[in-house]
Amino acid sequence: MSIAQVNLHAGRRNLGPFPPAAPSNPDAPHVTSAEIVIDAAEDQGPLTRVWESIGYDEINWTYTPTGKRLLKTFQEFSGHSYHVRPHYVFCSGSGFGIPHWGSGNVYHEDDNGNPYYDFTIADQTYDAIVNAGHHVLVELGFTPRALLPPEAEEHPFENSPTTYTAYEAGTWAYPPRDYDKWAGLIEAHARHCLERYGEEEVSTWLWELWNEPDIYYWRGTPEQFNELYTVTAKAIRKVLPNGKVGGPTVTSGGLEFLKGFLEYASTHNEPLDFISYHTKGCRFPTREYSPIGAPAREQLNPSSTKMLFDIRSFNRAIAEFEQYRHLPAMVDECDAAVPAHFGRYDNANYEFQNTEYYPVFQVKLMKKILDLNATEVVSVEQATSWSFYFEGERYFEGTRSFLTAGAIEKPFLNAYRMLSKMGANRVAATSSAAWQVSELNDTDGSSMPEEIDSLASRDEDGTVAVLLWRHTDDQYQTEEAETAVSVTVKGLQDKAYQVSHYRIDSEHSNSHTVWKSLNSPQDPTEDQLAAIRAKQGLAEFEAVKSLSAVDGALSVDVSLPLPSASLLMFAPQS
């Protein structure tokens, strides 16, 4: 590693007083009651659907049968197009996907050093995304083997049966040796996409240079990265004059890198259509190598407070550049824990990624991001879940994914089903037991305590959706008593409303609970699989009922276990 690289990494720092992971506190107080008031007549403008974006490392699983079905599932339940961001499109390789690695294998050179391109894998990847009704967030990375610089030969590497060559061990992260050939690759890639998918589709795509250049994904200097951005943006705009280009997609420790990039872009008048960065809620001590089924050595948790602090810090840094205040912020990795491919066998704290805790965490996080949007100058447009699925894992491995073995849907997917039912416009919602984003001003690094909060919307047909939850940033916190919540909806017409109630908790919308009740089979029978799948979708908590609004209001009582989320839909009846 170069001296410049060492200095770059030494300059990284975490934001705020947060520990790597939040400790558990069994003595933390519970919320015993709450009142939620919705004013359906207080329109707060269009509801930004920040959750409609996913991404993942394993590009070659995009076009597997399971990958294609999962992409279609998102479109089917949402009726909307997500942006999908896979890694490794320019990495050289065979196209054989493994966790945390993949290859698009686009760039090649003949014996005379002349470039030529093979878009076979890229086509399969983008076809799967577009054919499922989604759009591509094109991550332009990383360095193809034929473009490695001479210093890559010094990269430390020893032959190992678990690593093919020095290339897979990390030389793909070095800057390309020839920026002109890189520009040719970018131009050819953009032109091929334009010809294959058409201008109308490609105009919806986002074009982003690299990934997390403030850490080991980039083995060059910030100056080299900035120069590469100039070359890349120019090549995109040569083919797509209105192409949306952006970056620098740094980690939460990369605030200074982002500031340097924005300073460079502003002084050089570089095209910039969005600004991207990442946040993670925790990093557990990795692989404990404990006996199978052993508990975690220390009970730890993700912190949504830490994530929100990261987002606010980045957006305030962006706001320092007046010409960029209007640009959308893309949190194109926004996840409770890292890395995605670690599960409960690596560290038992990852178990939350199997359970109802995670979907409730996610809906809470999305609402708080919207609250930040309402109070800050710069707004988040997308908060990407870096999640997809993993080939070859055991049932409920505990990875950060929407599916487990056998393509069974995990409870996490139901967070997105709930969010998809929210209406077009946000309306006012208050809770007597909610944590407020203003509390970030005085944070001491503690994670979010137990709260009950809500997000509400209204559609053009008058349907009001109220999403409410009970949650704490502690996966080990439980309580037998449920919390009584009074929900009052005002601003309605004096007429009858059909009320639907959906629920995520340990007993509803929860394939994992059923699997555990069957003694956690790793080779489930057909009957067991049927029982598990019967509980994998979003479940109605109770039968649909009719209530009439009086003086423009109606009320319902809800009882929430810890953790849980309920979605109430009030549809006017003719």
Say if residues 412 and 387 touch (Cβ distance below 8 Å): yes
In sign, the C-alpha dihedral spanning 150, 151, 152, 157 is positive
d(CA 487, CA 481): 19
Average pLDDT over residues 429-437: 98
Average pLDDT over residues 248-252: 97
Average pLDDT over residues 299-324: 98
Question: Residues 464-519: pLDDT tens digits?
Answer: 999 999 999 999 999 999 999 999 999 999 999 999 999 999 999 999 999 999 99
CA 314 from chain centre, in angstroms, equals 17
CA 277 from chain centre, in angstroms, equals 12
Angstrom distances, CA of residue 514 to CA of 97, 407, 507, 526, 534: 30, 15, 8, 14, 9
The yes-or-no verdict on residue 9 having pLDDT over 70 is no
Domain 425-572 CATH superfamily: Glycosyl hydrolase domain; family 39 (2.60.40.1500)
3-state secondary structure of 49: coil
Question: Residues 532-549: pLDDT tens digits?
Answer: 999 999 999 999 999 999
- 244-250/206-209 β-pairing: parallel
For tokens 């009584």, name the residue: 484
d(CA 389, CA 380): 25
Least Cα distance to 41 among 459, 491, 458 occurs for 491
Q: How many CB atoms lie within 10 A of CB 290?
A: 14
The yes-or-no verdict on residue 11 having pLDDT over 80 is no
Least Cα distance to 410 among 372, 459, 359 occurs for 359
d(CA 136, CA 201): 9
Q: How many CB atoms lie within 10 A of CB 305?
A: 25
CA 282 from chain centre, in angstroms, equals 14
Q: Is residue 162 very low, low, confident or very high in pLDDT (cuts 50, 70, 90)?
A: confident
Say if residues 559 and 485 touch (Cβ distance below 8 Å): yes
- The pair of structure tokens assigned to 246 is 């952006």
pLDDT of residue 13: 61
The yes-or-no verdict on residue 97 having pLDDT over 60 is yes
For tokens 């320092």, name the residue: 320
User: Over the Cα atoms of the chain, what is R_g?
Assistant: 24
Q: How many CB atoms lie within 10 A of CB 7?
A: 11
Angstrom distances, CA of residue 238 to CA of 196, 234, 271: 17, 6, 12
d(CA 294, CA 299): 12
- The answer to whether the 3-24+48-420 and 425-572 domains have the same CATH topology is no
Say if residues 553 and 490 touch (Cβ distance below 8 Å): yes
The yes-or-no verdict on residue 447 having pLDDT over 60 is yes
Burial 66-98 (b: 16+ CB within 10 A, else e): ebbebbebbeebbeebbbbbbbbbbbbbeeebb
Average pLDDT over residues 545-564: 98
pLDDT of residue 452: 98
For tokens 């549809």, name the residue: 571
CB neighbours of 379 closer than 8 A, spacing ≥ 6? 48, 315, 328, 329, 373
Answering whether pTM is above 0.85, one says yes
Question: Could you tell me the residue ranges of all domains in the chain?
Answer: 3-24+48-420, 425-572
pLDDT of residue 3: 32
Average pLDDT over residues 153-158: 90
The yes-or-no verdict on residue 110 having pLDDT over 70 is yes
Least Cα distance to 78 among 54, 52, 55, 56 occurs for 52
d(CA 352, CA 361): 10
Average pLDDT over residues 81-97: 97
d(CA 515, CA 522): 9
d(CA 262, CA 324): 9
3-state secondary structure of 434: coil
Average pLDDT over residues 379-386: 98
Amino acid at 74: F
Question: Residues 270-298: pLDDT tens digits?
Answer: 999 999 999 999 999 878 999 999 999 99
Q: What share of the chain is helix, strand, coil (3-state, %, to 5)?
A: 30, 25, 45
For 521, phi and psi rounded to 5 degrees?
A: -70, 135
Say if residues 356 and 564 touch (Cβ distance below 8 Å): yes
CA 351 from chain centre, in angstroms, equals 18
So what's the architecture of 3-24+48-420 in CATH?
Alpha-Beta Barrel (3.20)
- The pair of structure tokens assigned to 254 is 């990369």
Give 407's DSSP letter: G
d(CA 344, CA 94): 30
d(CA 35, CA 19): 33
pLDDT of residue 546: 97
For tokens 């949402």, name the residue: 78
3-state secondary structure of 391: coil
5 or 313, greater pLDDT: 313
Q: How many CB atoms lie within 10 A of CB 113?
A: 9
d(CA 366, CA 411): 17
d(CA 47, CA 457): 7
Say if residues 183 and 235 touch (Cβ distance below 8 Å): yes
First to last CA, the chain: 69
